[in-house]
Chains A and B, each alone.
Chain A
Amino acid sequence: MGCLKLSYREKNYEPCLKVAYKNFENSPEKRSKYYPFGLTMAGISSKAAGAIHNRRKFNEGTELESGEFSDGSGLELYATNFRSLDPQLGRFWQVDPFSDASDNWTPYAYANNNPILLNDPYGLISESTVQPTPVPECSDCPTGRMAEVKKLETVVVTSKKPPSNSSYKWYQFFNDHNPGGDFLYEINRWNPIANLANSIKTYASGSDFYGVEQSNAEATVQLASVIPIARVSSTVTNVSLAAIRQGIAKTLATSNDLVHIFKSKHLFQPLLSKAGSEANVIRRLYLSLGQSGQLPASGNFKIAVNIYGYNVTIKGAVIDGIPRIGTSYIK
């Protein structure tokens, strides 16, 4: 593993930044080298022939739009939810929607022009990458440690990686990086063998393979979905997954939307307990909208769905083809 030497030095100190990530457990560790604004250093890193191309190594997992065209070329932009970052320029292509609140910076700036210490995964707000964790050791770094800056305990320039918590399931890596969410669930929803196994597990233990408590009735529905006709009926939807993903991303990016939806009056606590997080509930709400087949092409909607056995009312609107949830509540 080589080091990215920075152009500044301090007395008796030679910083070394290493960028490392793991796809998931038991896979070979891979390392990448970047220029500060996310442009991959050519000739090294994961550019090796035959390597699986991970497009989410920078800026907290922002997807790199690269190699989309048949000749191998691509946009070479990091697509955040709201803007596109050009790593060669170190600038966004679009103006900051909240530029009024950041008048110290050009509205095209990425991470306050400080890409080492800050991220901007949504294209809206610069976030600190500084974590109060011990500085990792590094045998071939001049200081014997990875990146370190005075007054800061650690500079983390790794892409998002699974925490060491043993309860972290390998597929949660995909969920964390996939606004559509629940990767394994979505794949297995179309897999009759998985549905059969899941329903048996639910009958036996009261919870499915995802750790979600399910009633026997829900297990029966899963069992029924093994039959092709039931699976066909569940695919009826009039909105694309891409549009749903955009709706999910926009809602999750706005704290005010979240506190409005999850305020106590809406009685989401039991659903939150089952789903595990607000993000999971939001994903479920949007996916349920798509599956309901009741979404209008545009305009307001009020749709009742059943999620984990709860009757949930969802109110919102379809704007420019993207569903947006304004309110949701259990009654």
Chain B
Amino acid sequence: MELIDGIDNINDLLIALKAKLIEEKFNKNLLIREAFTLWYTLVEGEDCENFSDDEIENLLQNNFKTYQVHFSEDNDYTFIVGWMVSITFWYFGSSIKEEYGSSLLIKAYQSNPKNSLFKWAIRDKLRLTNDDLNHLKIDISVRFEQFYDYGVLIREYFLDVINTPH
């Protein structure tokens, strides 16, 4: 994974992930990184010379099907799919609604309530106090890798959203 973590360019990162996944089709770590990278490319409008938006959307939906068939009970995979679906459910097929994303986030938290990142993601439902939220943010910021260790892109994204006031 160190090799992949060293890639800054999104296009190169996607190519490297695809190449790795040909060798290890059901490597959860790679699949989670691929899912997030594809989604991030779509929502952030990142330039990607080797992939059109339609291709990326198709790849994301294939990754989503892999999750549903093989990894639906995995907490980490459930969390990242839940996050992506809850924000942009329309990328995951016409039958997917945003409530499905929320239910996945809740499921991930219920399976692992000690994970501060999972807890923060459903802070609306838990009705946390400001103090609780601040403690969560600090906890996640200080030891993010202990809660979710799937590469630089995911870490930087979540550290950014967690520290966004709301």
| Interface set of A (CB-CB < 8 Å, partner B) | 97-98, 100-101, 124-125, 127, 250, 254-260, 262-265, 278, 300, 302, 313, 315-317, 319, 324, 326-327, 329
| Cross-chain contact B87 with A317 (CB below 8 angstroms) | no
Please give, as numbers and ranges, the residues of chain A lying within 8 Å of B53 by CB-CB distance: 300
Query: In the complex the two chains form, is B125's CB within 8 Å of A263's CB?
Result: no
Q: Which 6 A-B pairs have the closest CB atoms?
A: A326-B88, A317-B90, A259-B164, A263-B160, A327-B43, A259-B161
B residues with CB within 8 A of A: 43-45, 53, 83, 86-88, 90, 98-99, 102-103, 106-107, 121-125, 127, 157, 160-164, 166
Q: Which of B121, B127, B166 contacts A262 (CB 8 A)?
A: B166
Bound CA span A257–B98, Å: 11
Q: Which of B102, B103, B157, B164 has the most CB of A within 10 A?
A: B164
CA distance A124 to B163 in the complex (A): 25
Residues of A within 8 A of B162 (CB): 259
Identify the interface centre among A256, A264, A317, A324: most chain B CB within 10 Å of its CB. Answer: A256
Given that A100-B103, A256-B83 are contacting pairs, would A315 and B45 also be in contact in the complex, using a CB cutoff of 8 Å? yes
Partner of B166, one of A258, A264, A313, A327: A258
Q: How far is the CB of B74 from chain A (nearest CB, A)?
A: 18
For residue A329, which residues in chain B have a CB less than 8 angstroms away from its CB?
44-45
Q: Chain A binding site: helix, strand, loop or mixed by DSSP? A: mixed
- A sample of 10 inter-chain contacts (CB < 8 A) reads A97-B99, A254-B98, A256-B83, A256-B121, A256-B161, A258-B164, A262-B166, A300-B53, A319-B90, A326-B87
A255 & B166 in contact (Cβ 8 Å cutoff): yes
**Cβ–Cβ < 8 Å partners of B102 in chain A:** 97-98
CA gap between A315 and B87 in the complex, in Å: 12
| Chain B residues whose CB sits within 8 angstroms of the CB of A326 once the complex forms | 43, 87-88, 90
CB distance from B131 to the nearest CB of A (A): 14
Say whether B90 contacts A324, CB under 8 Å: yes
5 more contacts with CB within 8 A, not counting A256-B87, A259-B164, A327-B43, are A100-B103, A250-B98, A257-B86, A260-B87, A263-B164
Q: Is the CB of A101 within 8 A of B106?
A: yes
Output the least CB separation between B153 and chain A (Å): 12
A300 to chain B minimum Cβ distance, whole angstroms, is 7
Partner of B161, one of A260, A278, A300, A316: A260
